[in-house]
């Protein structure tokens, strides 16, 4: 497994750091009229490799594509992070000037589920570990449904946002916990830009289901069938659910989002991702215009997830134990 990870990293570094310098070097040689066999050979090889990679990504779909999409997402993530760095520094300074606390907000989220078909659970039933297998101790003491990681965002709320009532569903543009600059960056999703660093770390994709907090995955899994299906792929900065519907306000919204996530997992491909990126850019542009014109939604107070679950799950289901104790609330 370690060999495959190292090979994947090596291929990514070659594509990211090897091909562009050769191409730039050859183009400069050709422009200066100093064209040699080596220049033409490297230029041809570079275009051939990029063309072969493009055709490969066009042909694969679903889970096979999900394993290869890092080949284009890592270079794009690095470029996006470099381009947005001046904006990130500017916003960070404003955040620090407006309110006390760190400019970057860190929160634990769940990533992709790396357990394969419940093999540890099956082995525990079938018998003792096989020789040579890693069965001496389970590295993940709790089955959270996915691998935890730290997600990075620009801080858009006061540092005391969860001190009184704990975490809560975001209540939109009128959320009293938002700072002034936080309203702008949250509405336009500029606060998500640091997550390109999560992509470079291999914890997230550019496109995929949005990552959720561990405690809410556990609770939502109790009331929504197959909710953990969305953890079969790495989470993303944007996704099909984000461009098709507004932020969650009810359990029914979460169910609809799960349908969109399942559709993406089954049909993900290069052209599908390109379409989602184009629609995301259009959506962010629309939200930017709305924020400049100060258009706000009517929602005001944060809503607890406990109240949403109690309204959604029938009373008899709660009495039978189908709906277990819910967390206090959720942050979008």
Mean pLDDT of the chain: 75
- Rounded to whole angstroms, how far apart are CA atoms 247 and 283? 13
Q: Is residue 329 situated within a structural domain?
A: no
Is there a single domain that holds both residue 212 and residue 190?
yes
Specify the pLDDT at position 49: 78
The radius of gyration computed from the CA coordinates of the chain, to the nearest angstrom, equals 23
Specify the pLDDT at position 2: 47
Q: Is residue 296 situated within a structural domain?
A: yes
- Rounded to whole angstroms, how far apart are CA atoms 267 and 233? 12
Contact 69, 57 (CB under 8 A): yes
Is there a single domain that holds both residue 53 and residue 124?
no
- Rounded to whole angstroms, how far apart are CA atoms 331 and 199? 21
Q: Please report, rounded to a whole number, the percentage of residues in the chain having pLDDT higher than 70.
A: 62
Residue 196: both structure tokens together: 């390109």
Q: Is the pLDDT of residue 79 over 50?
A: yes
HSE value, Cβ hemisphere, 13 Å, CA-based, for 182: 26
| Count of C-beta atoms within a 10 Å radius of residue 111 | 22
Instruction: Tell me which residue range forms the domain holding 215.
Output: 61-128+141-319
Is there a single domain that holds both residue 264 and residue 293?
yes
At 8, is the pLDDT very low, low, confident or very high (cuts 50, 70, 90)?
low
Residue 75: both structure tokens together: 């270079």
Residue 181: both structure tokens together: 């600059």
- Rounded to whole angstroms, how far apart are CA atoms 154 and 168? 18
- Rounded to whole angstroms, how far apart are CA atoms 70 and 16? 11
Contact 221, 145 (CB under 8 A): yes
Which has the minimum average pLDDT: 101-110, 173-182, 249-258?
173-182
Residues 6+ apart with CB under 8 A from 247: 170, 172, 253, 332
pLDDT digits (tens, 9 = 90+) for 161-177: 666 655 555 656 666 77
Q: Is residue 327 situated within a structural domain?
A: no
Is there a single domain that holds both residue 200 and residue 281?
yes
Specify the pLDDT at position 163: 60
Domain boundary among 59, 81, 107: 59
Is there a single domain that holds both residue 81 and residue 226?
yes
Helix (H, G, I), strand (E, B) or coil at 326: coil
Q: Is residue 209 situated within a structural domain?
A: yes
Is there a single domain that holds both residue 31 and residue 89?
no
- Between 159 and 13, the more confident residue is 159
Q: Is residue 328 situated within a structural domain?
A: no
pTM above 0.85, yes or no: no
Is there a single domain that holds both residue 184 and residue 226?
yes
Is there a single domain that holds both residue 42 and residue 72?
no
Across 25-29, 256-260, 286-290, 307-311, the highest mean pLDDT is recorded for 256-260
pLDDT digits (tens, 9 = 90+) for 117-170: 444 444 433 444 444 444 444 444 556 778 899 999 999 887 766 666 555 556
Q: Is residue 27 situated within a structural domain?
A: yes
- Strand pairing category for 236-238 and 148-154: unpaired
- Rounded to whole angstroms, how far apart are CA atoms 161 and 167? 8
Is there a single domain that holds both residue 258 and residue 315?
yes
Domain boundary among 59, 83, 104: 59
- Rounded to whole angstroms, how far apart are CA atoms 278 and 298? 28
Is there a single domain that holds both residue 272 and residue 196?
yes
Specify the pLDDT at position 39: 65
Q: Is residue 246 situated within a structural domain?
A: yes
Q: Is the pLDDT of residue 51 over 70?
A: yes
Is there a single domain that holds both residue 200 and residue 220?
yes
Contact 302, 240 (CB under 8 A): no
Specify the pLDDT at position 181: 87
Q: Is residue 135 situated within a structural domain?
A: no
At 293, is the pLDDT very low, low, confident or very high (cuts 50, 70, 90)?
confident
- Rounded to whole angstroms, how far apart are CA atoms 76 and 236? 14
Phi, psi torsion values for 147, nearest 5 degrees: -85, 125
| Count of C-beta atoms within a 10 Å radius of residue 201 | 13
Contact 289, 184 (CB under 8 A): no
Is there a single domain that holds both residue 284 and residue 226?
yes
Q: What are the distances in angstroms from CA 38 to CA 29, 34, 44, 240? A: 10, 11, 10, 45
Phi/psi zone of residue 109: left (φ > 0), alpha (ψ -120 to 50 degrees), beta? beta
Number of domains, the chain: 2
CA angle 256, 260, 266 (to 5 degrees): 140
């Amino acid at each position: 497994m370690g060999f495959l990870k190292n090979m994947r990293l090596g291929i990514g570094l070659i594509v990211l750091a090897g091909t562009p310098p050769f191409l730039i070097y050859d183009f400069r040689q050709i422009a200066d009229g100093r064209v040699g066999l080596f220049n033409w050979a490297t230029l041809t090889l570079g275009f051939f490799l990029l063309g072969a990679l493009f055709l490969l990504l066009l042909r694969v779909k679903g889970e096979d594509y999900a394993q290869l999409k890092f080949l284009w997402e890592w270079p794009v993530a690095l470029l996006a992070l470099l381009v947005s760095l001046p904006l990130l520094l500017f916003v960070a300074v404003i955040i620090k000037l407006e309110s006390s606390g760190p400019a970057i907000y860190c929160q634990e989220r769940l990533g992709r589920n790396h357990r394969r078909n419940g093999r540890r659970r099956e082995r525990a039933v079938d018998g003792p570990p096989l020789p040579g297998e890693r069965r001496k101790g389970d590295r993940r003491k709790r089955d959270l449904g996915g691998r935890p990681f730290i997600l990075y965002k620009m801080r858009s709320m006061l540092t005391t946002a969860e001190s009184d009532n704990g975490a809560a569903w975001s209540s939109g543009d009128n959320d009293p916990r938002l700072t002034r600059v936080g309203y702008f960056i949250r509405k336009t999703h500029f606060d998500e830009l640091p997550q390109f660093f999560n992509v470079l770390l291999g914890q997230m994709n550019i496109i995929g289901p949005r990552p959720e907090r561990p405690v809410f995955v556990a609770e939502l899994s109790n009331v929504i069938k197959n909710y953990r299906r969305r953890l079969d792929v790495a989470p993303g900065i944007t996704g099909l659910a984000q461009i098709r519907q507004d932020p969650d306000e009810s359990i029914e919204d979460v169910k609809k989002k799960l349908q969109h996530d399942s559709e993406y997992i089954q049909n993900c491909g290069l052209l599908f991702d390109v379409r989602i990126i184009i629609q995301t850019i259009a959506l962010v542009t629309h939200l930017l215009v709305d924020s400049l014109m100060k258009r706000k939604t009517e929602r005001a107070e944060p809503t607890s997830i406990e109240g949403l679950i109690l309204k959604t799950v029938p009373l008899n289901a709660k009495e039978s134990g189908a709906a277990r104790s819910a967390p206090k609330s959720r942050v979008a």
